[in-house]
Chain A
Amino acid sequence: MSPTFLSQAMTVARRDVLRERRSGEVLWVTLPFGAVALLLIPIAISTDTLTLRRVGVGMFWVVVMLFGVLIAVRRTTADSTAQRDMVALTGMDPAAVFTGTALANFLLLLVFETVLGVLTVVLYDIDLSGAQWFPLILVLVAVGLALLGTIAAGIVATGRSTAALVPLIVAPMSVPLLIAATQSFEGLRLGKSILTWILMLAVIALVLAVAGVLSARPLQETG
C-alpha cells in the first residue's frame, strides 16, 4: 500500500468527519433517534426488569443495525454527482476514496455504538459479564457495518430513492453481523467461548473490505 493511497484515504476520512462536525447529523439527529428507539421498545414490550435484561442486548444490536445504516446514507445524500465527478477528476484512487469513506463511517458508528451501548446498560440493566470483550465486538461490528453501508451507498449513489434503497440493501445483508454480535454477547452471558463469533465478524469484515476495494473503480466509472 503506497503512502499516497493512505494519505488520500485519510484526506477523505478527514473531510467526512469534518463535515459531520459541522452538520452534527449523526450526533444530533441519528444518535437521539436511536436513543428514542431504545426508550420506545420497553414501552411496547414490557417494563419488567428481568424481561428487559433478557432482550436488551438484542434490541441494542437491532437499533445499531437499522439506525447505523443512516450514517452511511448521510454521506450519499450529501454528495452530489458534480462533487463525485470532481473527486474523480482529481485522480484520486477510487479504492482510497472508498477506504476513507468507510473509515469515517466506522468512526461515527463506533461513537454511535458506544453512546447507545451505555444507554442500553442503564435502561435495560444489562449483565456486564465478559465486559473486556465488549470493545473488540463493538469495533468489529462497526467495521463490518461501515464497510457494508459504504458499499451499498456506493452502489445506489446516483439513483432515485437513495435514502430508502440503502437500508433495504444493507438490512438483510447485515444478518451475519447481527447474529455474530448478539451471539457473542449471549456466549459471554453463558460463560461460553465466543471465538467462533469473533472469527466470523473478522471474516465478514475482510470479505467486505475486499469487495469494497474491488468494486470501487467500476462504481466510480458509473458516475
Chain B
Amino acid sequence: MTTAKPHSSSVWPWYAMAIAGIVTLVASFVAPPDALQGELSRILYVHVPAAWLAYVSFGVTMIASAAYLWKKDLKWDRIAAASAEIGVLFTGMTLVIGMIWAKSTWGVWWTWDARLTLTAIMFFVYLGYLALRRSTDDLEARAKRAAILGVLAVVQIPLVHFSVVLWRGLHQTPSLLKPASVDMDTPMVITLLVAVVMFSVMYVAMMVKLVELGKLEEQVILSELSSRTPVAGSAVTAPSLGGDA
C-alpha cells in the first residue's frame, strides 16, 4: 500500500511576500518626512506602488485573456484570474489609502478627479469580472466568457479615461483642493523606487500562489462534477422480492 503524495506547493512566495512587506515598511519609515505634508507623505510609498501594480495586473489579465482565446489553454485563464484578483486588491488598497490621504490633505474623502474616478470604475469593472468567474462551474465556458470580458474591460479603459478627462475639463478645477506640485528629494525617490520593486516582488509571489490555488480549485470542481455525474445503469434499481412486509 502506498500513501498519496502530498501536493507540492512552493514556499518561497510566502518568504518573498514577507520580506517585500518588511522592506517596504522599513524603507517608508527610514525616508525623511515631507517638509509640507510631514509624516503623512509616507502613505505615498504604499499608494503609488499599489496604483502602479493595479494597472500592471489588469494589463496582464488582458494579455492572458487574449492568449487564452488564442491558445485555449486553461493555464492562461488561471493567470488572467490570478492577476485580476491581485488587481482588484491593489485597486481597493489604492482607493482606500488615497481617500485617507485626501481627507487629511484636502479635507474631503473623495474628489472627482479624473484619475480617481477612472480607478474607482476599474475597481467595479474587475469586481464584475471576478463575480462572473464565480457564476459557473463549467471550466471551459468560464474561461472563455471571462477572457472576453477581460479583453473588453481593457478595451473600454481608454474610452472611460477619455470621457472622464473631457468631463472634468468642462468644470473648474478645484481651487482649494488643488494638490501642490510635487518636487521630491532623492531619498524619497529612492524609497519610492524600492517600494515599487518590493510591491512588484509581492505581485509575482502572489501570482505564483494564486495560480497554484486556481489549479487546485479546478481539480476540486472537476472531482465534484464527476461525483455528481450519473454512471451508466445508475437509474436501474436492483430487483426486490414483492409482497407485504
Contacts and interface: CB of A to CB of B under 8 A. Distances in A.
Interface of A: 151, 155-156, 158-162, 165, 168-169, 171-173, 175-176, 179-180, 183, 186, 196-197, 200, 203-204, 207, 211, 215, 218-219, 221-223
A203 B163 CA distance: 11
A28 B59 CA distance: 43
B132 to A, nearest CB: 6
A92 B50 CA distance: 47
Contacts of B140: 222
A182 B112 CA distance: 16
A165 B166 contact: no
Nearest to A173: B156
Interface stretch (B17-25, B123-131, B237-245): B123-131
What interface size band does chain B fall in? 20 to 34
A176 B163 contact: yes
Given A165-B132, A211-B155, 9 more contacts: A155-B149, A168-B127, A171-B124, A175-B121, A176-B162, A179-B163, A218-B69, A218-B148, A219-B148
A151 B164 CA distance: 23
B contact patch SS: helix
B127 A207 contact: no
B141 interface: yes
A168 B128 contact: yes
Contact of B128 (A165, A183, A197, A211): A165
A158 B144 CA distance: 12
A197 to B, nearest CB: 8
Interface centre among A161, A179, A218, by most chain B C-beta atoms within 10 angstroms, is: A179
Given A156-B135, A175-B121, A200 B145 contact: no
A197 B163 CA distance: 9
The 3 closest A-B pairs by CB, nearest first: A159-B135, A222-B141, A176-B163
Given A155-B149, A175-B160, A183 B167 contact: yes
Contact of A203 (B132, B159, B167): B159
